[in-house]
A and B are shown apart, each in its own frame.
Chain A
Amino acid sequence: MKFKADEIASVIQKEIEDFRGQMQTAEVGRVIEVGDGIARCTGLSSVMSGEMLEFPSGVRGFAFNLEENSVGVVILGDYLAIAEGDEVRSTGKLLSVPVGEALLGRMVDPLGNPLDGKGPVITSESRPVEWLAAGVAERQPVKEPLQTGIKAVDAMTPIGRGQRELIIGDRKTGKTAIAIDTILNQKGTGVICVYVACGQRASSIAGVVEVLRQNGALDYTIVVAATSSDPAPLQYIAPYAGAAMAEYFMYQGKHTLIVYDDLSKQAVAYRQLSLLMRRPPGREAFPGDVFYCHSRLLERAVKLNSELGGGSMTALPIIETLEGEVSAYIPTNVISITDGQIYLEPDLFWKGIRPAINVGVSVSRVGGNAQTKAMKKIAGSLRLDLAAFRELEAFAQLGTELDKATQAQLDRGYRMVELLKQPQFQPLHVADQVVAIYAGTKGYFDKVPVAKVQETEKQMHEFIRTEHADMRDKLIAEAALTDETEGMLKKALEAFVTRLASNA
């Protein structure tokens, strides 16, 4: 096919002929001071707090401080393109981001501009970045489970839809891995995921996106990326922008999951902005409202009531601690805001217990309400058993002679720890988790050498899936461990154990 230059020219000509420009009215001000991502402006006498402003270079900003004689503006973009004396225009709109289905599978910056080279994000809808969280009457209790696909989490610190569960730990303890596994496990459940990378290395964001893409999780995921090289204002608004994108789906009655990776870096970005704006510093030089900065963000995670469609937004904020110091300012703040935490420890991680979850310190305040009946039934005593095992383990290290019962308890404990290990990016279906934990707690693995537990577990899942699929389907359909199913499960496990013994 050949293009005809005349045709294209005539189309453009018609377009220009039909164009009727309108007079533009705008409130303006003038930059009197600019630097480090912020600008101070005069004028703009009726600007709103949080209103989007435009600089002549096309860079956007928002009004952050409204003072007696000037307005402090946070610049969202290249502040080197702005000079003293430039005209600032108000837009009359609060800072908002594009939202909608078009964003699924895309990687965008906190303003909704595409970063993945897949062309423009075409959507007509947008939502303000800052949005008041749903009130008490608009919510309902969290009781539906959100399966993470991780045995240790789903069994002992279950997460419900609409819950806020903090993932906290030192660097390199697998915090992001838990969040990514959770996103991968939402495949086929209709849960829409938003991954907000805030102050992360661009290379690790690229790694996460690649994993999501390879596992087919990108189709239902939005990635909002503010790398460490992005200006602090972008890092500061990234979580709010991600929340706005998730809220769009939530208010349509859909279930959403949002991961904030990580909020300690966002707090640092906010501290930078506040100090540059000359807001007074408080503890650890964070501004006084850094608690509110996180609480209003996490409060947006809700389970809406049925009148509003019953949608939900589950938040998994991530906090990085230094040397396991959970009593620092930001960790204590976020721990107190969230409905529980998953605490990861480097010691466990290096011992090979991965995910390196410290079972004793990790809690979920929503607890059993957000578990399937089957899981609730079998995992009820798991946490206590493991705690008892840890005590015994410490005791056994003294080299004392142990009676038979204690030795048996210890042996089972070693196998349970082994069973709760799980490789990265391999989330398990909740039915398989129930089978594994049931087998472990009822002693079906007692004869298996500790080093072989993981391998045997894999064989068991294979066995159940191929030869006892009816039982598995029943477990999935009922989501409860009835006497009948339990009988079937027992029979299946016994058959598996006999086969193991005959093969050995």
Chain B
Amino acid sequence: MSDVRSTYRAESVLEDPGALAVATLYAQSYLSAAKDAGIADPETEMNSLLTDVLEKFPEFEQLLMSDVIGRDNKLSIVDRVIAPKASPFFANYLRVLIRHGRFSMLPMIYSVLVRLQEEAAGKKRIRVRSARPLSDSSRSKISSHIRNTFGFEPVLQETVDTTLLGGVVLQVGDTVYDSSLRSRLKQLKGRLVEKAFNEIQSGRDRFSHPEGD
């Protein structure tokens, strides 16, 4: 079974589909609330909190993400530390998250937020797997081809997977377009085997008695 195991593996399988659904809901509501409040780029502030504050002070991040201190304590910390520096809208959003016990989802909410914004702008993420790193020319070729066929702006997420042997595999949403050398060889193998089967059977039919044996 070791030969089949060599296929492409996900970089992370710890993605919890249930959590993703919750994060999507929070991201959507954040966006629509921001729209109502007239905030142009709501993701900047969240990004800044994640990269400039929480990433720089991991202890602070742990404090807020863990359940060691209660919600009220977390709320007061946010009120004292973050709220004076943040916009009232974002501070309110953080308070909602803490009250619902969902603060630890913030990084996930942010990643969903970015994806939603891309989709709103007519862009879609496409996963491209290839045997070798893509050259600029092939990259632009893939992009223009997708633009023409699907009618949206692709955001390419490239991965190199040498087991493909050659060609590319595109994934749009849940649909995979596989034109790698590996899958073609597999097709060829199937076809050769099938043909051999048929030939064996016809050879056997030739010798066997028509009424059975």
Binding site for B on A (CB under 8 A): 12, 15-16, 19, 21-32, 42-46, 56-58, 68-70, 81, 83-87, 89, 105, 119-120, 122, 219
Contact = CB atoms under 8 A, between A and B. Distances in A.
A148 to B, nearest CB: 25
B176 A69 contact: no
A24 B13 contact: no
B201 A69 contact: no
Nearest to A15: B192
A302 B192 CA distance: 41
Given A25-B177, A27-B175, 7 more contacts: A12-B192, A24-B178, A26-B176, A28-B176, A42-B15, A87-B10, A122-B197
Contact of A28 (B175, B184, B201): B175
A45 B17 CA distance: 12
Contacts of B191: 15, 19
B174 A83 contact: no
A24 B9 contact: no
B73 interface: no
A23 B175 contact: no
A31 B17 CA distance: 11
26 contacts: A15-B192, A16-B188, A19-B188, A19-B191, A23-B177, A23-B179, A25-B177, A25-B178, A26-B175, A26-B178, A28-B175, A30-B10, A31-B13, A32-B17, A43-B174, A44-B174, A45-B174, A56-B7, A57-B5, A58-B4, A69-B18, A70-B17, A84-B13, A119-B200, A120-B200, A122-B201
Contacts of A29: 174
Contact of B4 (A12, A26, A45, A57): A57
B86 interface: no
A165 B200 CA distance: 41
Nearest to B18: A69
Contact of B176 (A15, A25, A32, A85): A25
Contacts of B188: 16, 19, 21
Contacts of B178: 23-26
B38 interface: no
B21 interface: yes
B20 A69 contact: yes
B143 interface: no
B152 to A, nearest CB: 17
A184 B171 CA distance: 55
Nearest to B10: A85
Contact of A69 (B17, B175, B177, B212): B17
Nearest to A57: B4
B213 to A, nearest CB: 9
Nearest to A44: B174
Contact of B179 (A24, A26, A31, A89): A24
